[in-house]
A = this chain, B = another copy of it.
Amino acid sequence: MPYNLSKITEPTLLLDLDKVRRNITRMQLKADAGVVFRPHFKTHQCAAVGEIFRQKGIEKITVSSLQMAEYFARHGWNDITLSFAVNLRQSTGIDKLAAKIQLNLLVENRRAVQHLAANLTSRTKVFIKIDTGYQRTGCHWENETEIFQLVNAVRESKQLQFAGLLAHAGHTYTAKSKEQILQIYQDTVGKMQQLQAGISERFGIRCVISIGDTPSCSLVTSFNGVDEIRPGNFVFYDAMQLQLGSCRAEEIALVLACPVVAKYETRQQIVIHGGAVHLSKESIPFKKKGRYYGLIVPLKRKTGWGNIFANSHVSSLSQEHGIIRADEALFKSIEIGDLLGIVPVHSCLTVNLMRKYLTSEGSIFKALQL
Contact = CB atoms under 8 A, between A and B. Distances in A.
Contacts of A319: 42, 64, 348-349, 352
A337 B64 contact: no
A89 B336 contact: no
Interface in A303-356: 316, 318-321, 323, 335-337, 339, 348-349, 352-353, 355-356
B271 A136 contact: yes
Interface stretch (A107-115, A158-166, A357-365): A107-115
Contact of A273 (B87, B273, B280): B87
A205 interface: no
B89 A262 contact: no
Nearest to A355: B370
Tallying the copies of this chain within the complex gives 2
A294 interface: no
A86 B337 contact: no
Contacts of A115: 337
B9 A276 contact: no
Interface string A70-98: 00000000000000111111101100000
A212 interface: no
Contacts of A170: 318
B349 A276 contact: yes
A196 interface: no
Contacts of A337: 88-89, 111, 115
Nearest to A352: B277
17 contacts: A9-B92, A84-B320, A87-B259, A87-B261, A87-B273, A88-B261, A89-B337, A108-B262, A109-B262, A109-B336, A111-B337, A112-B336, A136-B271, A136-B318, A276-B280, A352-B353, A356-B370
A-B interface, 10 closest residue pairs, ranked by CB to CB distance from nearest:
A88-B337, A281-B281, A9-B89, A85-B261, A87-B273, A111-B336, A89-B259, A64-B320, A9-B90, A277-B352
